[in-house]
Amino acid sequence: MKNTSIILAFVLCANFTYSQKLKGSDTVLPLAQKEAESYMKANKNAKINVTGGGSGVGISALVDGTTDIAMSSRKIKLTEKMKLADAGKSFKEATIAFDALAVVVNPANKVSQLTREQMEGIFTGKIKNWKEVGGEDLQIVVYSRESSSGTYDFFKEHVMNNKNYATSVLSMPATGSIIQSISQTKGAIGYVGLAYVEKEVKALNVSFDKGKKFVGPSMATAKDKSYPIIRPLFYYYLATVEKTVRPFVDYCLSVEGQKIVETIGYVPLTK
């Protein structure tokens, strides 16, 4: 009897201290971390571990079964779906927030709007001077993130029509150094998350319909989806563990969870 109760207590304990693991995108990481912290504060028994590594790393961990939730800053790729299908696993997807990317230039730059085609030209190296897009006669200096970043891929797919960046693009190790460089280089252009837009740089209005309508990045335009360079952030989890991870996912989607989204600088879901 005593033995059983000890075992029972042990099982209960193990159950309560079972820690959920989240792995993946470094973009989602700060958000998930904050959500996890306040979730654990509200539910004393819950334990959540959040680690980064990149969206691809998270999803491959989901395939291997080394994480419960994969955080991703892009939609799961067909090839990754295939891998999951091969492993005989079905998955669920939850959109937890949106992230808007702002295209920024030096504040001294007179250009204040660009079309998608112009941005494609600039980032692929076809357009080299600001006077080609209505600015002064000044060489364009393009800053980008390193190729390992999910933002690099998203921008390439979404804005550059899947073409490769020009070789002359300067790649910076972090968003902070992009801001620093753009603020001190007159002909600079680059992209950063909406949360990073400060007064040292100027965010451009962009148009994805060949110049009919230009929209500037802000929390409001991102919320009503009129700003085009916006990407959803996802959680992916296996259907088999839905019961254990659902409470946390629900928390992230709740009013309280979405409030955290906005404090981190991402765009909350609109209902």
Q: How many positions of this chain bind other proteins (CB under 8 A)?
A: 33
CB of 108 to other proteins, least distance (A): 13
CA–CA separation, 144 and 63 (whole Å):
30
CB of 88 to other proteins, least distance (A): 9
CB of 185 to other proteins, least distance (A): 5
Residue 145 burial by CB count (10 A; 0-12/13-18/19+): exposed, middle or buried?
buried
Pair 70, 24: CB distance under 8 Å: yes
222 closest CA partner among 103, 99, 119: 99
Residues 186-225 that bind other proteins (CB under 8 A): 186-188
Q: Which is nearer to other proteins, 20 or 60 (CB)?
A: 60
CB of 120 to other proteins, least distance (A): 10
Q: Which of 37, 136, 146, 209 binds other proteins (CB under 8 A)?
A: 146
Q: Which is nearer to other proteins, 162 or 244 (CB)?
A: 162
Q: Where are the alpha helices (DSSP H) in the chain?
A: 2-16, 29-42, 55-64, 78-86, 116-124, 150-158, 175-184, 219-223, 242-253, 255-264
Does position 124 interact with other proteins (CB under 8 A)? The reply is yes
Q: Which two tokens stand for residue 50?
A: 């959040």
What distance lies between CA 120 and its chain's CA centroid?
A: 21
Does position 175 interact with other proteins (CB under 8 A)? The reply is no
Q: Which of 15, 43, 45, 162 binds other proteins (CB under 8 A)?
A: 162
CA–CA separation, 140 and 119 (whole Å):
11
CA–CA separation, 193 and 10 (whole Å):
46
Q: Which is nearer to other proteins, 77 or 225 (CB)?
A: 77
CB of 138 to other proteins, least distance (A): 7
Angle at 91 between CA 41 and CA 162, to 5 degrees: 100
What distance lies between CA 125 and its chain's CA centroid?
A: 25
* Contacts with other proteins, 34-73, as mask; x by CB under 8 A: --------------------x-xx----------------
CB of 78 to other proteins, least distance (A): 5
Residues lying near other proteins in the complex (CB under 8 A) are found at: 54, 56-57, 77-79, 82, 85, 124, 138-139, 141, 146-148, 162-164, 167-173, 177, 180-181, 184-188
